């Protein structure tokens, strides 16, 4: 999971993004993928990063849902954007995702099999990152350190696992503020970057996923997932 470029964006995001005054009291919409694309097909406000092979993605409408579709064939790539969000004020992250193909044999717990069809990175301004993943094999609720470059710390949470729920849209809600405190043991700084990623190059297989409606809100709803877990053991 290469994240150097995401961290670079995170460190300068306060200068790159200004939020409209209306957002002060409204949910902070990171992406609904209805605002169009640039000449390369990249959603407006986002940046494409290709790590291995050529990226295959599109912005489309799946029923009534505007979505970003990612397709990986022995490749690794991501789309990312800067944000400037106070997690103490907007702690709740919600999104929709759908996985239609998982990398066969993918397993976050083994570096040589570390492929996922769907990964959502939340980068904080202190070079600490949480990544929410849908893994092929690692059990739901599993959390552990993810590989990271020097001076960067990444904690991964397996939010979904296996094939049982593939092929349909699933809405997720996480308390990113509480997740950060449970994983890193201190108060989180501002959220500075978001990345959506797919990869299948380790297993030399393929995967496909869809993302929609990434939003931060002030609400602390009862259905937020619990976060009391030791590292490497759900």
97 pLDDT more than 90? yes
pLDDT for 22 equals 42
pLDDT for 16 equals 35
Instruction: Give the mean model confidence (pLDDT) for residues 217-226.
Output: 57
**Structural domains in the chain?**
4-217 (2.60.120.260)
CA 154 – CA 120 distance, rounded (Å): 12
Q: What is the pLDDT of residues 21-67, one digit of tens each?
A: 443 458 999 999 999 999 999 999 999 999 999 999 999 999 999 99
Instruction: Give the mean model confidence (pLDDT) for residues 148-156.
Output: 93
Give the count of beta carbons closer than 10 Å to the beta carbon of residue 52: 15
Q: What is the pLDDT of residues 178-197, one digit of tens each?
A: 999 999 999 999 999 999 99
pLDDT for 234 equals 43
9 pLDDT more than 80? no
Banded model confidence at residue 17, pLDDT cuts 50, 70, 90 = very low
Is 13 or 54 the better-scoring residue by pLDDT? Answer: 54
pLDDT for 14 equals 36
Transcribe 136-169 into DSSP letters.
SSSPTT-EEEPP--TT-EEEEEEEEESSTTTTS-
Helix (H, G, I), strand (E, B) or coil at 182: helix
């Amino acid at each position: 999971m290469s994240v150097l470029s995401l961290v670079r964006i995170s460190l300068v995001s306060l200068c790159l993004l200004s939020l409209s005054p209306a957002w002060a009291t409204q949910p902070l919409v990171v992406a609904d993928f209805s605002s169009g694309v640039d000449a390369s097909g990249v959603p407006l406000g986002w940046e494409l990063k290709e790590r291995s092979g050529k990226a295959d993605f599109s912005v489309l409408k799946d029923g009534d849902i505007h979505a970003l579709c990612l397709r990986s064939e022995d490749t690794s790539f991501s789309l990312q954007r800067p944000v400037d969000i106070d997690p103490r004020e907007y702690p709740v992250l919600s999104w929709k995702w759908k996985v239609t193909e998982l990398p066969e044999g993918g397993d976050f717990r083994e570096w040589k099999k570390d492929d996922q069809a769907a990964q959502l990175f939340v980068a904080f301004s202190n070079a600490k990152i949480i990544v929410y993943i849908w893994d092929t094999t690692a059990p739901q609720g599993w959390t552990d350190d993810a590989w990271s470059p020097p001076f960067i710390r990444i904690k991964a949470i397996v939010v979904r696992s296996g094939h049982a729920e593939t092929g349909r849209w699933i809405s997720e809600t996480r308390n990113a503020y509480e997740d950060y405190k449970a994983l890193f043991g201190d108060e989180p700084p501002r959220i500075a970057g978001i990345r959506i990623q797919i990869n299948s190059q380790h297993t030399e297989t393929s995967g496909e996923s869809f993302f929609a409606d990434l939003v931060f809100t002030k609400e602390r709803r009862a259905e937020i997932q619990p976060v009391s877990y030791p590292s490497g053991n759900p």
